[in-house]
Structure 1
Amino acid sequence: MSASSYPELTQGISKQIANLRKDIPETMKGFSEMAKGACTANALDEKTKELIAMGIAIALRCDGCIGFHTKALIKLGTSRQEFEEMLAVTIYMGGGPSLMYAAQALDAWEQFDGPTS
């Protein structure tokens, strides 16, 4: 469906992020600390936070974010049903454009071999 290969996209972005870690280490350290602080389980578990991040990625139409958050959700044991229910809320909140990116997010899920149920 999508023109994007999410595994290839995330690999390419990861290479450039490695360069940024060398070239602007303080900025990248700050970003990593912010991500760690935001995503650490507390009142909300890590999976819930990743589902929120994915909804935002779809709403903002960020292909790289869709790829990385899909990988994280699969790693956290998210079921396809949980993933698709998050897509339903995203579509509801964002209308047609979110529907298009929800379809792309499902494409990313399948490209990363997410579970079928």
Structure 2
Amino acid sequence: MSWTDKLSGTRDQLRGLNKVIPDTTRAFGGLGKAVKEGGVLEFKTKEFVALGIAVAMRCEACIVLHCEALIKAGATREEVGDVLAMTIQMGGGPSMMYAAKALECFDELSNA
């Protein structure tokens, strides 16, 4: 499955979840909005943190959503590489495998 397909599938899954538990998903969305709009760090920096956590937690759905957000925020491949290097340093071998997936995802979505 391509990362573009993964992104589409993830959105479909989230829409389905929203239909079943709209109050919960709305509350979670509000939390995300508050975190991304508040504080002293810029949005792109926060998305770098989120990508690092997504890789460390081995969440492909999170990886694809945060790669998309980083592309929209103007992140470069080199910046993503730095984040992935730090994630590998903190998470070892499993993070290295998911960092490779994240870079592949970023590259595919950047060229879409």
Scaled by the length of structure 2, what TM-score is found? 0.93
Structure 2: distance between partners of 1:31 and 1:96: 31
Point out where structure 2 has 5 or more consecutive residues left out of the alignment: none
**Per-residue Cα deviation, 1:79-100 (whole angstroms, up to 9, x for no partner):** 1111101111011111111111
Does the residue aligned with 1:81 lie in a helix, a strand or coil? Answer: helix
Which of 88, 93, 102 does residue 91 from structure 1 map onto?
88
- Counterpart residue identity of residue 44, structure 2: K
Which of 49, 54, 59 does residue 46 from structure 2 map onto?
49
- Counterpart residue identity of residue 107, structure 1: E
Structure 2: distance between partners of 1:97 and 1:15: 27
Figure out how many residues of one structure are paired with residues of the other and give that number. 111
Counterpart of 1:13?
A: 10
**Per-residue Cα deviation, 1:13-45 (whole angstroms, up to 9, x for no partner):** 211211222221101111101111111153100
Aligned-residue sequence identity (percent) comes to 43
Does the residue aligned with 1:102 lie in a helix, a strand or coil? Answer: helix
RCO higher in structure (CA 8 A, sep ≥6): 1
Counterpart of 1:70?
A: 67
Runs of 4 or more above 6 Å deviation: none
> 1:32-43 maps to which residues of 2 (within 5 A)?
32-43=29-40
Counterpart of 1:29?
A: 26
RMSD value, Cα: 1.2
**Larger helix percent:** 2
The 10-residue stretch of structure 1 (47-56 or 18-27) with the greater mean CA deviation from structure 2? 18-27
